[in-house]
Structure 1
Amino acid sequence: MRKIEIDDEVFAYLQRRSEPLVDTPNDVLRRELLGDGKSSKSSGPERGLGALMFIIDAGLAAAGDQLVHHQPRLHRTHEATITADGWVELPDGRAFAQPSPALKAQTGSDINGWGQYTHVPTGEKLQKLRERARSTQG
């Protein structure tokens, strides 16, 4: 295996096209340059449903709804959008099947996205929406 150096802009590109904790930079390059489908990441409707899909199906959220997390001590606000297939999409285009990895990508630390993201239209935490969706299922 050979090693290469890449600049920050190229690395950011690779990150936007990778599935965290699954793809390596080599997986993304292989997929982008060689059309090799070895990685589990796929784009569009083939990528599978995200964790928020059952909340959408329950009518408690909708595609395009905004999520927000405030870090008052750091004076930071992180925003995301729910996609039509239940993923959490960040403003930079990266999408995550689960809210916690999405929020970790924004804050840089392990954090419970279910408990910390607020669903803007309802003002409720995702955790509360998840509980409500589960209670309507059965």
Structure 2
Amino acid sequence: MVAIVETEPPTLRFERINGHNVPIREAEVIGIALMRVTPRFIPVDSGYEAIIEARLCEEERSFIKPLRFDAEEDTLPDFVLTDVDGKESVPMEVFGMNTDEYSARRAVKTEIYNKEFGADGWWSWDATVKNAEDNIPPFPAQNSSS
């Protein structure tokens, strides 16, 4: 985990301690958040994403981890492979919940990706099925120059 702290601009004042003027810097904390990251400091939203990030790194794949504040669109993939032959990018989705609301969002994302990239033009893993970690689909083939 990484802690992200937002503060007001720091102030500087001097305090007399033991006959010396000592600078005191203070800042008021106005917000704090924790962000889950991998050992390589890649932000992830779940343990399932961390599994995929680790595997991508083990296989020395080139990828991007999109962040919410970077997104211009409603559909944000969990990862984007950038080293697949003949493709600029391949979106990757880790489906890690099976609530009704999440399943509805999953259906929308699937439709969007199928329309934009074709059924074989993006990668996904359903991490909610039994023995999911033993059944992670292979990643799309890496281009020969990577």
Q: Which protein shows a greater Rg? A: 2
* TM-score category, normalised to shorter length: under 0.3
Structure (1 or 2) with the greater strand fraction:
2
Q: TM-score, normalised by structure 2?
A: 0.26
Q: Which has the higher contact order (CA 8 A, sep 6+)?
A: 1
